[in-house]
Chains A and B, each alone.
Chain A
Amino acid sequence: MRLRLKVQRYDPAGDQAPRYSDYSIDVPEHATVLDSLLEVRDYEDGTLALRYSCRSAICGSCAMRVDKKACLACKTKVADLVKGEDHEILVEPMGNFPVIKDLVTDMTAYWAKMRQVTPWLQPVGPEPEREFLVPNEAMMDLARTMNCIHCGACVSACTVLEVDKGFIAPAALAKAYRFVGDPRDGLSKDRLKYLSDVPGGIWDCTRCNMCVEVCPKDVRPMDRIMQLRELAVEAGVAAGTGARHGDAFAGSVRRLGRLDEARLLPGSVGFWNVPRLLSEMPGALRLFRAGKLPWTHALPWHKPIPGIKHVRRLYDSIRAERKGKVSP
């Protein structure tokens, strides 16, 4: 099939800003985006730089944005993308990473963040004579996170990272879960405390779900971050704003069946935390002016919604279900 590609280019030796190259090539029906880019590089334009190796979604080299969505080029078939004859596939480097050249990005910060979560097992106590005896289910649970190939697609799509470069971000936090959730690790509680307290830690995720949507290996990084939050609360090490925000949020809905925004902020940062409360006021005013905070919501007198007892019953049943759950 005939294929049109528009590829973002950048060579630090000559370009002030990114530019685009258009290519028109013939590829077989079963071709992937990677096959197509290699065809370009091999014969049309050998100056095109990209990373690749296994072409079977295991080495994690070829993450990039294709038609604006972060993906593995080797796992994305062109036939699935092309909509009509005029369709031109847009290929760009990953977002949230500096570009070295063309589609090759600088992952230094990515690996540094992985290092930040102490990414190795830390058993405590005497070594067993042979292997650790652990249940298969525990290993299978971790294997799901071990399925991560560190391609960076989730980081490319992370909306928190766009505004906060210090966020440890989905991949490294998922990696942290892999140790916290490991029955052989002896320092899970210390890890949870660190992940809870450190700036850019588990409470800074906004649950936008983008990392889950783009992950090519179904690691579901956001779900791992949520598991870490729950474990941090259970372990009693989650004392920060993030955990209190969650409590205030859940408490408000249990009480009223809706959000009581006037109490949410004090509930999150502390009722007597006057400097912090004052510092949030300009933001609240801007929200108000932009019509994002209806004035009725800002007032602290609300009645529960009709049928609040059904909401409370949901809470009770979830709590009862949780009681049966084992913590690590």
Chain B
Amino acid sequence: MAVFEHDVLVIGGGLAGMRAAIEAARNGADVAIISKLHPMRSHSGAAQGGINAALGEDDSWETHAFDTVKGSDYLADQDAAEILAREAPNDIVELERMGTTFNRDEQGRIALRPFGGAGFPRACFIGDITGQAILHVVFEQVLKLSVTIYEEYYCTSLIVDDGVVRGAVALHLVAGNLVPIQGKAVIMATGGLGRVYQPTTNGIACTGDGMAIAYRAGAPLQDMEFMQFHPTTLKDSGVLMTEGARGEGAYLLNSAGERFMAKYAPEKLELASRDVVSRAEQTEIEEGRGVDGCVLLDVRHLGEARINERLWQIRELAIDLANTDIVHEPVKVRPGAHYAMGGIKTNVDGASPLAGLFAAGECANVSVHGANRLGGNSLLETVVFGRRAGQAAARYARETPARPPLSEAVVQRDQEFIETVMERAGSAGGDGDRPAAIRHELGEMMRADVGIFRTGERLAAALGKVAELQERYQRVRLHDTGKVFNIDLVSLFELSFMLDIAHTMVAGALAREESRGAHTRRDFPDRDDERWLKHTLAYCTPEGPRLEYAPVTIMRWQPEVRTY
């Protein structure tokens, strides 16, 4: 069996993964990226509105860091938030020099637009295709550096040898065989888990693979109960309408045509932080002031020219997916599952507690977002902490002595799993569910019971539902028993990862008896710093997640009452 070998192995070809690969390559490491999609297909490309950096004349990195900490409802680690804000301007300028076509102001400098929860206009943008435009430029740099890309290789597990991560096992989709890929250091950068919910803004590929794989390998997942619901997503499809729309001045209206945010955030109105706006919308809808289960996003007053210059993508999406031309009428939107604040616990250099494993981007938890992320900070996190993880992983690989090559046995467990499900598919009379049936039930349950407003009762029921679905998963039924491009098999792996991830989210939410950021308990409506100003850590055990707690790093800013 051919065993591939590299200094640094990056799992995931989105912005965080590619930025990490670039930095590791610059530091002299032999780097490879494994990605289940071609890197240009990554969901980083779907980020629309902007990427934050304190580039404005009156702005400062300290203000950016404070806004981030306040936005996090004081759960962010302040050392990490400071690094994020302090290093942002350099990373943005670097992206610009790589070729990013940022919109400009009259002097030709990078233009800035206001974003939610921010004290100054701080979001750099390319119309409303910010993620796509940056993703493509970063991919160009990966090509320039000739980084090895294992494209359409689906990572199924980590190889852990004597407590140290030494590589990964991946399914080569075109050939259909499992291959071990050795790496002295492994950087997990697989992005989000939005597909645990239904509907979600996330792409179909966002199934939390990397988080689950790291969790099973022994790394703790941190703050998994905090899920961001984006205030403006389309009704049927769940597709995102950028926060940039409100940044440009859009209104949110209820059925009476009122700008209802005045009641909930008298100062910031539509530009309060996302948890505040989503809760307000949900309240309006539940109290009978919604329109068709939604509220209205109105950009008409911006005029067609500005919409075409700065919001062309969402105009087209709303026409295609909601039959609404936002130039002429408001579009129905509602809060939708969008971003996992939680993830693989790392330090500020991306290192997880598991030796040899690093993580960056949405699948990681540094933690800069705490209980609620600010818009424009996720793209920023991918470049700042992707870079730092790449550098640290290259250093770790350099300092790690060579070890004997891996044996073929490392693929055995995944191979046996594949053989089992293939055999079951071949045998007649099985009564198992299709993976999609279990996935849909999971998504519905997460939306209903682990949504914007939560109660202990519903969360306890959710825990039972996860156990039931996990039990049914044992008999799940595959259709495709072929080797070539077997996405049916991939969906089986994805589902098992999603079930594990959902388990940590529900367990964390049930345990956390307070309301903080995006986690709102109707039975515990207040923030409780005395008992709960701490991170949740979930460790994998055969019985499910074991929860532990860790202190939050508080430096300049003591927790205060949070209003917008």
Contact = CB atoms under 8 A, between A and B. Distances in A.
Interface in B423-448: 434-437
Interface in B468-494: 478-480, 482-488
B532 to A, nearest CB: 36
B482 A75 contact: no
A311 B165 CA distance: 74
Interface string A95-117: 00000111010010001000100
Contacts, number: 166
B43 A53 contact: yes
A249 to B, nearest CB: 34
B41 A184 contact: no
A46 B488 contact: yes
Interface in A199-214: none
A54 B203 contact: yes
Interface stretch (B126-134, B264-272, B382-390): B126-134
B46 interface: yes
Contacts of A123: 97
A159 B273 CA distance: 50
B231 interface: no
Given A41-B488, A53-B203, A147-B129, A75 B320 contact: yes
Nearest to A75: B320
B104 A136 contact: yes
Nearest to A45: B479
Contact of B321 (A45, A46, A51, A56): A56
B205 interface: yes
Contact of B45 (A58, A111, A136): A58
A101 B486 CA distance: 9
Contact of B436 (A42, A61, A115, A182): A42
A30 interface: yes
Nearest to A28: B236
B203 A142 contact: no
B46 A43 contact: no
Given A100-B485, A130-B93, A139-B103, 14 more contacts: A11-B482, A43-B436, A47-B482, A54-B46, A54-B204, A55-B237, A55-B239, A104-B485, A120-B140, A121-B97, A132-B96, A140-B103, A143-B103, A143-B126
Interface of B: 37-38, 40-43, 45-46, 92-93, 96-99, 101-111, 126-127, 129, 132-133, 136-137, 140-141, 143-144, 174, 203-205, 236-237, 239-240, 309, 313, 316-317, 320-321, 434-437, 478-480, 482-488
13 contacts: A46-B434, A46-B479, A59-B45, A59-B46, A119-B143, A120-B99, A121-B137, A132-B97, A133-B108, A136-B104, A136-B106, A142-B101, A147-B132
Interface of A: 11-14, 28, 30, 38, 41-43, 45-47, 49-61, 75, 77, 100-102, 104, 107, 111, 115, 119-121, 123, 127-128, 130-136, 139-140, 142-143, 146-147, 149-150, 179, 182, 184
Give 8 closest A-B pairs by Cβ, nearest first: A46-B479, A42-B436, A121-B99, A133-B108, A136-B104, A46-B488, A53-B203, A120-B140
